[in-house]
Chains A and B, each alone.
Chain A
């Protein structure tokens, strides 16, 4: 469990993190979203015990990070931004060092090392020095280090940054596999990741929490939530037909791919009505889709207009 209470960190006059309070329970995977410089990393650094808060507190499984740092740090697995490690060490040597510091006993240590080396497919690079590894492997070494002691709480700062699509998928599978009994916080600015791994998302900007909800609920805030988009032979005629439907608020034609999107009035569903109208008018549609909502659009609206975010 992670809990922050009015957590703040100021750098001079700049409020990097401003009164952030939240609580994450075991089984939750919290996605931390926000533009660059929003305070994501600073918040994570305070939870991990690297930075001391200017005011407020963070606790991990009941241990206040500032007052009982060692107890808290034992329970956390932390991947710092950029996955730093000791470049001159071999992968094997580095993981052995972390296992020693974590105080793993001989039997457990072998078992855990085998487990993380297998999970992150590090077997082929064990003897290589870390600085000679590719970015993807270095990131995996950082992840291996973070989960080595099978921690109850995982704090991962941009775990998939710089990975190729296959590696991203592997890391997401890894997080999903661990999600059941752990408390996990993941920061990212890749929005598809939120769907892939998170069951809760917090959007922060300017050091403040602007939204805290399930990913689906955030999507529901989107203008696109419940909208119907389709590709038709004659977009202009199609638009004329669709705007006449009672619950349709507006219809937009994408200037690039001529895709027609009909937006519903607030709280209305229009998919059936649109379908019927098209059939009645004999419009041939090559493809039609009900939109779930676009997270990137919600993200932009919330982070670029803080006033609206607070109201919502």
Chain B
């Protein structure tokens, strides 16, 4: 069997070895429903779509995803199990990818459990299911990018709380870069192409375009590059920091 699959299986099982996983999923479901119905005005809008649901995902992920990713490597370093893992016959990238995929699958499970909302909106009206699928794909990709960032930053420290905070701050900056407020302010001082460059770095820009139902290749490439870059950075950081 492929080492990535073995590591993936072990990691995913370890999420469910403690009640934390169930608590996390519960919090995610409660919050996403609360945002959708209260802040998003799901009924008041009188539209059969899941835009109010997806539009809060970046902010939900900002705090919930770092809670998943914070333990990825910092716990391995703290308990010393990193020494065990990396002296087994696996390569660094197999370990990084295996652990990342397990975290991503876990986030995917939480996301998939929001399906009653999809059923609800189909029961109430006649939504564009293609757009909803696109929304889920975009949300899942964004979760992956957050996790890849979290993977890298959790390799920096043995302390999970530090890893959590670093990840929240980094993700927040990357979200903000696409916020109209920031872009307008930037537009006042920077030439347009720089403003576009800042905007194109943001999760928000790419996520919003996907969640409107348009799966553009450029957005997919953006998320793929984002995940690839941060996973590569994870491997580099682990190599640098494992000695201390």
Contacts and interface: CB of A to CB of B under 8 A. Distances in A.
Interface of A: 11, 45, 48-51, 69-70, 73-74, 76, 78, 80-82, 84-89, 93, 97-98, 100-103, 129, 145
Nearest to B14: A88
Contacts of A86: 10, 14, 79, 81
The 6 closest A-B pairs by CB, nearest first: A84-B80, A88-B17, A80-B83, A73-B89, A48-B87, A100-B6
Interface of B: 1, 3, 6-7, 10, 13-14, 17-18, 79-81, 83-84, 86-91, 242-244
Given A87-B79, A101-B3, A50 B88 contact: no
A145 B88 CA distance: 10
28 contacts: A48-B83, A48-B87, A49-B86, A50-B87, A69-B91, A70-B89, A70-B90, A73-B87, A74-B89, A76-B87, A80-B80, A80-B84, A80-B87, A82-B80, A84-B80, A84-B81, A86-B10, A86-B79, A89-B10, A97-B10, A100-B6, A101-B6, A101-B7, A101-B88, A101-B89, A102-B88, A102-B89, A103-B1
Contacts of B81: 84-86
Contacts of A73: 87-89
B10 A49 contact: no
Nearest to A149: B89
Given A50-B242, A101-B7, A102-B89, 16 more contacts: A11-B243, A11-B244, A45-B83, A49-B87, A70-B89, A70-B91, A73-B87, A74-B89, A80-B84, A86-B14, A86-B81, A88-B14, A88-B17, A89-B10, A89-B14, A100-B1
Given A51-B242, A102-B89, A85 B6 contact: no
Given A88-B18, A97-B10, A101-B90, A51 B84 contact: no
Contacts of B80: 80-82, 84
A76 B81 CA distance: 17
A87 B81 CA distance: 9
Contacts of B243: 11, 51
B60 to A, nearest CB: 26
B10 to A, nearest CB: 5
A45 B80 CA distance: 12
Contacts of A129: 17
Nearest to A51: B243
Contacts of A102: 88-89
Contacts of A50: 83, 86-87, 242
Contacts of B3: 101
Nearest to A42: B243
A292 to B, nearest CB: 37
A98 B87 contact: no
Pick from A69, A82, A145 the residue with the most CB of B within 10 Å: A69
A277 to B, nearest CB: 58
Nearest to A65: B87
A203 to B, nearest CB: 24
B199 to A, nearest CB: 41
Contact of B79 (A76, A81, A84): A84
Contacts of A93: 13
A101 B244 CA distance: 26
Contacts of B18: 88
Contacts of A78: 84, 87
A101 B7 CA distance: 8
Nearest to B10: A97
A74 B91 CA distance: 12
Contacts of A100: 1, 6
Nearest to A129: B17
